[in-house]
Amino acid sequence: MVARTFFFDEVFGKTAEDEIAQIVIMGAGFDTRAYRFQDSLGDTVVYELDLPEIQRIKVERLKDMQITHPGNIRYVPIDFTKDVLFEKLEEAGYSSSERSLFLWEGVTEYLTDAAVDSTMRSIRDNAPPGSFLAFSYIYRSVVDGTREYYGTKKILKTVAGTGELYRFGIPEGEIETFLSDRGYRLVRHLTAEDLEGTYLTDDEGRLHERICGHNCVALSQVAP
């Protein structure tokens, strides 16, 4: 999760510097990027999407910590199983004519194939070309139970204990095809090994931590 956080921080920070007009965090939970990167956001508006109860708890915690709510953050209550993504966004002031960044961290593996496809199709159809989608995912072979990687057995046991199940994955080595078939182009892709080398290895080449070998992250862009 540390390596994944570094990746999404980089994407968020760079996008803010590049003056992308809108950032949408899907399943925001207790994400703090809109606060941590506030100085570089400028006029960029951040839409945080999650269940109303989660957002209520977050607002209470921020008040308890005396953290001021910036004016460019919009909380958008949504139930992804029932509500229409862009209807909710537009109600909150989102403009479908402005390039945007969508963050989808730690979510896809718990969704059905249909739910992932529906969300990606909705972004492709409603966000202008050049908009970005950054997301994390796992390999399909872990969902199917046909292959194990470093840490797979342990994390599957942990996930089962929470009552959640892995449902969605992308076959290893097929990320570009997966994206192309859905109207996106790949901008950056990091496997578990890449994440370790980029974020968990020091300047002398020493690896300090390992991560589950089935985890990947990707930055993609809505194709023209």
The string of pLDDT tens digits covering residues 65-115 is 999 888 999 999 999 888 999 999 999 999 999 999 999 999 999 999 999
Confidence of residue 164 (pLDDT cuts 50, 70, 90): confident
Q: CATH number of the domain at 2-222, please?
A: 3.40.50.150
**If you ran DSSP here, which 8-state letter would residue 109 be given?**
G
pLDDT averaged over the chain? 93
Confidence label for 1 from pLDDT (cuts 50, 70 and 90): confident
Question: What three-state secondary structure class fits 13?
Answer: helix
CB-count burial class (<10 Å; 0-12, 13-18, 19+) for 122: middle
57: exposed, middle or buried (Cβ count in 10 Å: 0-12, 13-18, 19+): middle
User: Where does the pLDDT of residue 40 fall: very low under 50, low under 70, confident under 90, or very high at 90 and above?
Assistant: confident
